[in-house]
C-alpha cells in the first residue's frame, strides 16, 4: 500500500516587502514533484539548502497547502481531508523549538496526548513508556528550559510518537547533536520501521541516509533529480571508484589545473584549514593516480588512496552535475 502518494506537487511562496510600495515576489519552492512512499518504508529526502525538503514536509503534514498538485497520506487528501490525515501522522522538526519551555517534559507529553485525543489512561501509560524509550524518565519532572539540546530533541521524538502515528515525518532530527546523541536517535528511527511505521526523513548527513534509508529522493531547486535505493543510486553514476588525495597547502592554481586536466572525471575538493581532500571519481583509478602524482609535483601530498564511492560522492556528483 502507498502510504504517501504525491502527484505533481507544487508550492509557491509569495512574499511582500516594503511598507507603502509593496513589492511581491514569488519563490518556487517545490516544482511539480511526484513520488510514493510504501508502508513500512524509511524514505529519505536529500538536497541542498533551500531545495524544498521542509516545504514538502509542511505540505504533507497539512501545515501548508500546495499551490498545485495533489497528495494523499494514508489515502486521505491533505488539502480536503486534513483532519483525517492529522489523526494518523506526526511530525518532528529538528532543533529545540516547539516545546512549552516552562512546562516539564512530562507535562509537554500529556498536553500533546490530549490534543491528539489519546484516552487519558492510555496516555498516562504511553507517556511513561515513551519517556523511557528516549531515556528521559529520570528528568521527566524537570522544566524543558533546563534541558540540553539533545534532551529537547529526544523529547521531540517522544512527542512525535504520542499518538502512535502510522507515518512519521522527520525534518533533520539529528541536526546539531553530538555523535552519541545522533546515534541514539538513529537507533530509535530504525526501531520505528521495525514496528511497522513508515518514516519520511530529511537529512544533510549522507552517511546517516545511507545507513537508514530504504529509498532516497534527491531534491534540487524543488525538483527530484534522482530517486532510488542507496545501492542503485551508486550504480546510477556508473561503476566508478574514488581516488582520494590529501594535500597540504595546495595553491589555488594547482586546483584549477587539476580540474582542467581531469575533466572526464568528477573532481570535488574539500578544504580543512591548510589541508585539502581531493576526491576524483573515475573508472580508471590507476591511470588517474599516476596523473595526479604528476600534476601535483611540488605540492605536499600527505596521502593517496583508492576507495569505493560513498553516497556522498554520488550525491555531490548528482547535485553538481545537474545544471538545471
Partner 1 sequence: MKHHLQVFRAAVRMTIWDYLAQPMWPFWLTITPFAFALVAVFLYRDAPPKTFALYVVLGSGAMGMWASALGGCSFSMMQERRWGTIVYTFTTPASQLWIAAGRSLVHAVIGLMTLAEIALISVLFLGIQLTIASPVAFLLAVLLTILAFAVIGLFLNSFFMLTRSASDWQNALSRFLYVFCGVMYPISVLPDWLRPFSYVLAPTWSLKAIRLSVEPGALGNSDYLMNIGLTLLLTMVYLLLAWYLQGVTEHKLRISAELERI
List residues binding ligand ATP (CB under 6 A): 13, 15, 27, 29, 47, 49-55
- Residue number with CB closer to Mg ion (43 or 266): 43
Q: Which residue is listed with cell 605540492?
A: 299
- DSSP structural state of residue 77: E
Residue 114: name its binding partner from Mg ion, partner 1, ligand ATP, none (Cβ under 5 to 8 Å by kind): partner 1
Name the binder of 117 from Mg ion, ligand ATP, partner 1, none, CB < 5-8 A by kind.
partner 1
Written as one string, the DSSP assignment of 237-257 is T-S-EEEEEEEES--HHHHHH
Please report how close the Cβ of residue 175 comes to Mg ion at its closest, in angstroms: 9
47 vs 69, which CB is nearer to ligand ATP? Answer: 47
Residue 264 site contact among ligand ATP, Mg ion, partner 1, none (CB < 5 to 8 Å, cut-off depends on kind) = none
Q: Which does 49 bind (CB under 5 to 8 A by kind): partner 1, ligand ATP, Mg ion, none?
A: ligand ATP
Smallest gap from Cβ 171 to Mg ion, in A, equals: 6
Residue 83 binds which of Mg ion, partner 1, ligand ATP, none (CB < 5-8 A, kind-dependent):
partner 1
The per-residue b/e assignment along 216-242, b for 16 or more CB within 10 angstroms, e otherwise, is bbbbbbbbbbbbeebeebbeebeebbb
Toward Mg ion, which CB reaches closer, 15 or 49? Answer: 49
Distance of CA 74 to the CA centre of its chain: 22
Q: Tell the smallest beta-carbon distance from residue 131 to partner 1 (Å).
A: 17
Q: Write down the least CB distance from residue 50 to ligand ATP, Å.
A: 4
Question: Cβ atoms within 10 A of the Cβ of 194, count?
Answer: 8
Residues at the interface with Mg ion (CB under 5 A): 54
Q: For partner 1, give the closer residue by CB, 37 or 73.
A: 73
Q: Which is nearer to Mg ion, 54 or 241 (CB)?
A: 54
Q: For partner 1, give the closer residue by CB, 111 or 299.
A: 111
The footprint of partner 1 (CB under 8 A) covers 13-14, 58, 61-65, 83, 86-87, 89, 91, 93, 97-103, 107, 110-112, 114-117, 120, 143, 159, 163
Assigned C-alpha cell, 6: 504525491
Supply the angle between the helices 105-115 and 149-160 in degrees, to the nearest 10.
30
Whether 189 and 153 have beta carbons less than 8 Å apart is answered as no
CB neighbour list of residue 63: distance below 8 Å, 6 or more residues apart: none
Least distance from ligand ATP to the Cβ atom of residue 235, Å: 25
Nearer to Mg ion, 54 or 61 (CB): 54
Query: Three-state SS for 281?
Result: strand
Burial class (CB in 10 A: 0-12, 13-18, 19+), 32: middle
Check if the beta carbon of residue 170 is closer than 8 Å to that of residue 92. Answer: yes
Task: Kindly report the number of other CB atoms within 10 A of residue 142's CB atom.
Answer: 14
Residue 104 DSSP class: B
> What minimum distance in Å lies between the beta carbon of 271 and ligand ATP?
21
| Closest among 313, 314, 209, 204 to 269, alpha carbons compared | 313
3-state class (DSSP) for residue 141: coil
Minimum Å gap between C-beta 208 and ligand ATP is: 14
Amino acid at each position: 500500500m502507498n502510504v504517501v502518494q504525491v502527484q505533481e506537487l507544487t508550492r509557491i511562496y509569495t512574499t511582500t516587502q516594503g511598507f507603502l510600495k509593496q513589492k511581491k515576489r514569488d519563490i518556487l519552492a517545490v516544482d511539480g514533484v511526484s513520488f510514493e512512499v510504501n508502508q513500512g518504508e524509511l524514505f529519505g529526502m536529500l538536497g541542498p539548502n533551500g531545495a524544498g525538503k521542509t516545504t514538502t514536509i509542511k505540505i504533507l503534514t497539512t501545515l501548508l497547502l500546495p499551490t498545485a498538485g495533489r497528495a494523499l497520506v494514508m489515502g486521505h487528501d491533505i488539502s480536503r481531508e486534513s483532519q483525517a490525515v492529522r489523526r494518523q501522522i506526526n511530525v518532528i522538526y529538528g532543533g529545540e523549538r516547539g516545546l512549552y519551555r516552562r512546562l516539564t517534559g512530562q507535562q509537554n507529553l500529556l498536553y500533546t496526548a490530549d490534543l491528539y485525543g489519546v484516552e487519558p489512561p492510555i496516555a498516562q501509560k504511553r507517556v511513561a513508556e515513551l519517556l523511557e524509550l528516549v531515556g528521559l524518565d529520570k528528568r521527566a519532572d524537570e522544566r524543558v528550559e533546563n534541558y540540553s539540546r539533545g534532551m529537547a530533541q529526544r523529547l521531540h521524538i517522544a512527542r512525535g510518537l504520542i499518538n502512535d502515528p502510522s507515518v512519521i515525518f522527520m525534518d533533520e532530527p539529528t541536526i546539531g547533536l553530538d555523535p552519541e546523541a545522533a546515534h541514539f536517535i538513529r537507533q530509535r528511527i530504525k526501531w520505528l520501521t521495525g514496528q511497522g511505521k513508515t518514516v519520511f526523513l530529511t537529512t544533510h548527513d549522507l552517511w546517516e541516509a545511507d545507513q537508514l534509508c530504504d529509498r532516497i529522493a534527491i531534491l534540487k531547486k524543488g525538483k527530484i533529480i534522482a530517486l532510488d535505493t542507496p545501492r542503485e543510486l551508486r550504480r546510477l553514476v556508473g561503476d566508478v571508484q574514488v581516488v582520494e588525495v590529501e594535500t597540504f597547502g595546495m595553491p589555488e592554481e594547482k586546483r584549477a589545473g587539476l580540474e582542467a586536466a581531469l575533466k572526464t572525471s568528477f573532481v570535488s575538493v574539500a578544504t580543512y584549514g591548510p589541508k585539502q581532500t581531493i576526491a576524483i571519481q573515475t573508472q580508471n583509478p590507476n591511470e588517474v593516480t599516476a596523473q595526479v602524482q604528476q600534476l601535483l609535483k611540488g605540492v605536499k601530498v600527505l596521502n593517496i588512496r583508492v576507495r569505493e564511492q560513498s553516497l556522498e560522492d554520488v550525491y555531490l556528483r548528482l547535485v553538481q552535475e545537474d545544471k538545471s
